[in-house]
Amino acid sequence: MLEKDILFSCDHPFLVGMEYLFQSPTRLYFVMPFVKGGELYKIFKEQKRLSEDVVKFYAAQICMAIGYLHSKSIMHRDLKLENILVDEKGYLKIIDYGLAKTLKDDQLAKTFCGTPEYLAPEMAEHKGHNFSVDWWALGVLIYEMKIGVTPFYNRERKLLLAKIKSGKVIFPDKNKYKIEYSNEFVDIVLKLLNKDRLQRLGTEGDAAEILSHPWFADLNL
């Protein structure tokens, strides 16, 4: 029911909403727009790494979409490449509100949920979480799209969670791995991946605070 309500309220160019809903005696049908380009995950896997300009273009759209959800007191809680579609014009559409939750500004949610590689430390430690878990996930996505792997990746779930809780974000050697990234890229990733949710970029001013970061300065937002 919550997912239905969220889908009907998603009137934003970078969110998939719902056209209408009907039911049979045994099933409930959600009728949503067809997004022709498929998953962003597929594009990422084909290219291995995306250019910083493309990552920035996508990140700005994700940020605006999540900011819109937050303005309606909704946390997404499952941001990942598989939950982002690309339309025929190259713009993004965020999908899947199955783990979303409505939350008041002064509340903390307690449910442990989401995809392990994108979990914020406060989620992994069961400390209670709020809207800033989505900004942590944005930081993971930005790093992943540019570097080619999530920042705390490990095949072993326990080690992955341990790195999320206490590990440092490591940026690969530019010469050794033949990869280029800017100082502003490093700065925004580190600020989004601040383990203290109260100090994390976006905690005070939400999407507007993030989009005012110098990394986005060359975009016409």
Positions annotated as catalytic residues are 78
Give the integer Cα–Cα distance in Å for 52 and 50: 6
Please compute Rg for the chain using Cα positions.
Answer: 17
Measuring CA to CA, how many Å separate 6 from each of 9, 16, 50, 102, 206? 5, 10, 31, 9, 19
94 contacts 65 by C-beta, under 8 angstroms: yes
Nearest of 114, 121, 183, 129 to residue 151 by alpha carbon: 121
Beta-ladder partners of 84: 94
Nearest of 62, 57, 100 to residue 84 by alpha carbon: 62
Burial class of residue 45, CB neighbours in 10 A (0-12, 13-18, 19+): exposed
Give the integer Cα–Cα distance in Å for 142 and 202: 15
